[in-house]
């Protein structure tokens, strides 16, 4: 075949060219497809963030979910972490991905440390108590939670736990580790208006 092409064109094309050129073309086409899809993905996310009113936000979210439903969006978790750092945690919450991360954290037989970190880093104001419950259930996650808590400030996190708790059961042994050292704060929380914080 190579000899036929060479004789037809009157050229001496080396064998490696017949392999390299098509491989480079395939790679280039795949790269262009990936690049265009990434740009479209990011554009749709930005429409959610840049929406001026509630109607625009809802329209942008519906458009995004039509193309990237939350189940499918799980495959884009790493990319969404990056975009969340650029655009704010709103992107994982409004697209429904935060709910999926929490669901995986709570229903998995052995959730990974990265699953807990995602919830703590990108949606703590909404789901920190869910992360606390998961850390109480799995000893492998407890150190991650405690380190995060120390970095954020224990008092701040205890208040967040009170705000995001909705009366769920939790492991009292795990809670005892840091709650014992904040008795004054706990006394303050007993006078909170919300029953779940008390």
Higher pLDDT, 33 or 158: 33
Which residue blocks in 96-138 are alpha helix, DSSP H? 97-107, 113-122, 124-137
Cα separation, 25 vs 90, in Å, equals: 39
Q: What is the pTM of this model?
A: 0.71
Per-residue confidence (pLDDT) for residue 23, from 0 to 100: 80
C-alpha separations of 115 from 14, 89, 104, 140, 189 in Å: 51, 16, 8, 12, 29
Per-residue confidence (pLDDT) for residue 6, from 0 to 100: 47
pLDDT of 13 > 60? The answer is no
Cα separation, 197 vs 59, in Å, equals: 35
Residue with token string 């050229």: 11
């Amino acid at each position: 075949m190579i000899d036929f092409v060479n004789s037809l064109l009157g050229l001496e094309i080396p064998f490696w060219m017949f392999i390299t050129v098509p491989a480079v073309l395939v790679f280039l086409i795949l790269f262009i497809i990936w690049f265009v899809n990434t740009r479209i993905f990011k554009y749709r996310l930005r429409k959610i963030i840049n929406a001026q009113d509630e109607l625009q936000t809802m329209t942008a979210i519906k458009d995004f979910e039509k193309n990237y439903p939350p189940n499918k969006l799980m495959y884009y978790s790493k990319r969404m972490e990056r975009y969340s750092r650029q655009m704010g945690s709103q992107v994982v919450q409004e697209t429904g991905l935060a709910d999926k991360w929490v669901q995986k954290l709570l229903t998995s037989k052995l959730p990974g440390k990265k699953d807990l970190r995602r919830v703590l880093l990108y949606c703590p104001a909404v789901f920190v108590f869910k992360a606390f419950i998961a850390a109480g259930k799995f000893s492998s996650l407890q150190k991650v939670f405690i380190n995060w808590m120390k970095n954020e400030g224990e008092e701040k996190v205890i208040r967040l736990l009170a705000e995001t708790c909705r009366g769920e059961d939790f492991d009292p042994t795990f809670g005892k580790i840091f709650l014992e050292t904040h008795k004054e704060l706990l006394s303050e929380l007993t006078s909170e208006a919300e029953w779940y914080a008390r």
